[in-house]
Amino acid sequence: MAEQINNLTFAIIKPDAVRAGHTGKIIDRIIGGGFRIRALKMIQQSRAQAEGFYDVHRSKPFFAGLTEFMSSAPCVVMVLEKDGAVRAWRDLMGATDPAKADEGTIRKEFGASVGENATHGSDSDENAAIEIGYFFNRLEIV
Ligand code: CMP
């Protein structure tokens, strides 16, 4: 992307949260947290698309279950803007394992397990740029 991306991050509302009807509540939390939603769409990933997205985890024991789950039902993918967006979105989500997430975080409230943990967020500006580019073209980011 030509745009400076240090104020952008990539987010997913995962299939567990969409299926449970939590999409609107999570979007409310995002807006209440001071993020600007620059792009948003509901998709259902193919298995191959989920495998490509999580390629860094290919050798992990949870890879098959993770990609099966992520391609099992619709999810919502988003580009979020805020100063320090990567850190800010990770803070709002809470720890990967909902059982270890702080009170008041999205994963504490909506996550069921480390695998079905309601949301995803990029872990660095560099990966945010890669992940945004995986799901959105430049014209979709407004
Ligand atoms: P996410 O932020 O989407 O990035 C990688 C995902 O792998 C992570 O959230 C978890 O949902 C999942 N994950 C990480 N560790 C495990 C694990 N031990 N078992 C199952 N899934 C995991």
Q: Where are the domains of the chain?
A: 2-140
In the predicted model, what is the mean pLDDT of residues 57-84?
98
Which two three-digit tokens encode residue 61? 């024991």
Alpha-carbon distance 101 to 42, whole Å? 26
Alpha-carbon distance 45 to 51, whole Å? 10
pTM value is 0.96
Q: What are phi and psi of 109, to 5 degrees?
A: -80, -40
Residue 37 contacts residue 80 (beta carbons within 8 Å): yes
Alpha-carbon distance 118 to 21, whole Å? 11
Q: Is 57 an annotated catalytic residue?
A: no
Write out residues with Cβ below 6 Å of ligand 1: 57, 62, 66, 96, 114-115, 117, 120
* Alpha carbon nearest to ligand 1 atom 21, residue: 115
CATH architecture of the domain covering 2-140: 2-Layer Sandwich (3.30)
pLDDT at 5: 60
Interval 33-57: pLDDT, tens: 999 999 999 999 999 999 999 999 9
Alpha-carbon distance 2 to 19, whole Å? 35
